[in-house]
Chains A and B, each alone.
Chain A
Amino acid sequence: MTADASPAANRGEPMLRFILNRLVMALPTIVLVSITVFALIRLIPGDPAALMLGDMAQPDQIAAMRVELGLDKSMPQQFLIWAGNVLHGDFGRSIVNDEAVLPLVVSRFLVSAEIVVVAVLLASLIAVPAGVIAAWRQNSLTDLVLVGTATVLLSIPTFWLGLLLLLFFGLKLGWLPVLGYVSIGDNVVGGLLYLVLPVMTLVIHEMGVLIRMARASTLEVLRLDYITHARAKGLSESAVLWRHAFKNAFGPTWTMIGLILGNLLGGIAVIETVFTIPGLGRLMVDSIFARDYPVIQGCLLFVSLSYVLVNLVVDLLYPLFDPRVVAE
């Protein structure tokens, strides 16, 4: 009997348990990630209160900050005060311009997320079918060309690829804007033009990773007996490939897509630097230069928690592709 045919009541309970299980498992990770971010900034040599206020701070300001941060209390208490503030949306204020950190981080995050999400979506749409076809035609010329191309794409650093595309489409052909950034909210067409090159860069790079992943996981499935069985009962190759092999092979690729989303959020600083985009990565790098510790801390916490969250959502959606994980 297939999963689809079993009564709905029987499916509901394990599914609920699966979801609750994943949610509960994410909690310790979130706490540990927060402790790590807190500890990391505390590792910086010097008085945290003075660091938080910058070079221009007066002694009485530092004293007030020491009380606010609870530096007279024990480390665990300090962490709880900080975590309490964060839960109330208080990520502190920038040393450089006294802006509240959370709204700043969120506005920059939206710029980065726009690029990353579109890029990963496009890359998946092209790369996953390509990987499946490469696996299906294993060791043929098609396979060799696809895997070879994927390995080359994977090896080109995004910042160099970005520079080359900028040089070619921006400077030589003059088709696309070279410097600056227009928000898509302000001007749809103008905003899109600024997004083309950064998105294209990421798509080309991530395709390399995804083609190889999709190929490897499809290969593992194609060896299994049920595929031979499906072929033996006379199904067409495309039905075998897409209805039977692909459905089972997509799981690991889906997890990889989640990891790529999170990694890109962490590593997008180079792309934002090449294309002068005011995103989260650039904000973090600029704050490292400016020693703006509250902003560094805010970016670290925000990106790492988004990473945990993205992976959680990917995990929760996994049964859509592979219902077996619910039963385990």
Chain B
Amino acid sequence: MKKVSLNGLIGGTLIAILLITAAIGLVWTPFDPMKLSFTARLAAPSDAHLLGTDEFGRDVLSRLMIGARASVWIGVLTVGFATICGTLIGLVSGYARGWVDGVIMAVNNALLAFPGILLALGLLAVFGANQYGIIFALGIAYTPSMARVVRGAVLSLREREFVEASRVMGNGELFTMFRHILPNCLAPITVLATSMFGWAILSESALSFLGLGVPPPAPTWGNMLAAGRPFIEQAVWLGLFPGLCIALTLLGINLLGDALRDRLDPRMRGLK
């Protein structure tokens, strides 16, 4: 049994802090994140407001906690959407082969020919810029990469003896697909889904920063940065903390992704 790598340890800790913060944010925040206070506008970090207040006197820490919740929620739904759709498409495509595979992969490759964020922007124009628009837009934009990875894994797995054995034993195609092929695709799916969680959080905060994401006053890290931007000269903390949250989250995901890849990706074994 391999011991946990340094990457995995730091990454895991950062992500655990994110998840715990998001969970605490569900039930408790130091202040009401929406409560305006004109006496406490742009207050510097202090004992009362640990991370200061924003241009409307709202507590930054409380808003960051709610923002963590929004990021995690959007990330999980996006990755869930892309993973389920991409896995099903990849399974069918790789297992059926022939013209079904040809048609599915032609459409898939056309979508992969777009830079992900561009496709998401185009889809946002269709769905409208809001929380569910983002989830659909990013989910659809990420589905093709998942479909391609799963199809590749299925293509090599379906020729293996244990799949043949399942068929010979008289198991149905669907049973073979879900009972024997899918579990063996879980490693590449996990690795990709982890990176996707990072892409989703980054894209969501970028879109919110552009004003195309979750609309204010609901706080997300991206729209807090955008809103704080005109005030960063007087109130550095408004430009500092939301960005730090995004960066630490992404760092955690990247480190965790590296650790997972080292452990799960057979091509990487032997390199270390």
Residues of chain A at the chain B interface (Cβ within 8 Å): 28-29, 32-33, 35-37, 40-41, 43-44, 151-152, 154-157, 159-160, 163-164, 167, 171, 219-220, 223, 262-263, 265-267, 269-270, 273-274, 284-285, 288-289, 291, 293, 296, 300, 303-304, 307-308
Contacts and interface: CB of A to CB of B under 8 A. Distances in A.
Interface stretch (B30-38, B51-59, B171-179, B245-253): B245-253
A263 B116 contact: yes
Given A266-B115, A267-B115, A303-B118, 16 more contacts: A29-B110, A33-B110, A33-B113, A40-B123, A154-B250, A155-B250, A157-B205, A157-B250, A160-B243, A163-B232, A164-B239, A220-B271, A267-B118, A269-B210, A288-B212, A307-B114
B115 A307 contact: yes
B111 interface: yes
A285 B243 contact: no
Contacts of A40: 122-123, 125-126
Contacts of A270: 206, 209-210
A40 B125 CA distance: 9
Contacts, number: 129
A220 B243 CA distance: 35
Contacts of B118: 265-267, 300, 303-304, 307
Contact of B114 (A36, A156, A274, A284): A36
Contacts of A41: 125-126
Contacts of A300: 118, 121-122
Nearest to B206: A270
A284 B242 CA distance: 25
A155 B122 contact: no
B254 to A, nearest CB: 5
A155 B202 CA distance: 9
B109 interface: yes
B210 A157 contact: no
A171 B271 CA distance: 46
B247 to A, nearest CB: 5
A159 B239 contact: no
Contact of A262 (B115, B121, B258): B115
B84 to A, nearest CB: 21
20 contacts: A28-B106, A35-B110, A151-B251, A151-B254, A154-B250, A156-B243, A157-B206, A157-B246, A159-B209, A160-B225, A160-B239, A160-B243, A167-B232, A171-B233, A223-B271, A266-B116, A269-B210, A288-B212, A303-B118, A307-B114
Contacts of A151: 251, 254-255, 258
Given A36-B110, A43-B126, A159-B225, A167 B121 contact: no
A274 B211 CA distance: 12
A107 B225 CA distance: 29
A32 B125 contact: no
A32 B107 contact: yes
Nearest to A40: B122
What secondary structure prevails in chain B residues at the interface with A?
helix
A167 B209 CA distance: 17
A262 B113 CA distance: 10
Interface string B21-40: 00000000000000000000
B211 A163 contact: no
A219 B123 contact: no
Contacts of B205: 157
A107 B202 CA distance: 29
Nearest to B243: A160
Contacts of B122: 37, 40, 296, 300
Contacts of B109: 29, 32
Contact of B125 (A44, A163, A273): A44
B229 interface: yes
A270 B206 CA distance: 7
A18 B271 CA distance: 32
Contacts of A304: 113-115, 118
Nearest to B267: A220
A13 B232 CA distance: 61
Interface string B186-218: 000000000000000010011001111000000
B79 interface: no
B124 interface: yes
B124 A288 contact: yes
B107 to A, nearest CB: 7
- Max chain A Cβ within 10 angstroms of own Cβ: one of B121, B123, B242: B121
Nearest to B209: A159
A217 to B, nearest CB: 12
A235 to B, nearest CB: 24
A303 B118 CA distance: 8
Contacts of B155: none
B117 interface: yes
Nearest to B245: A160
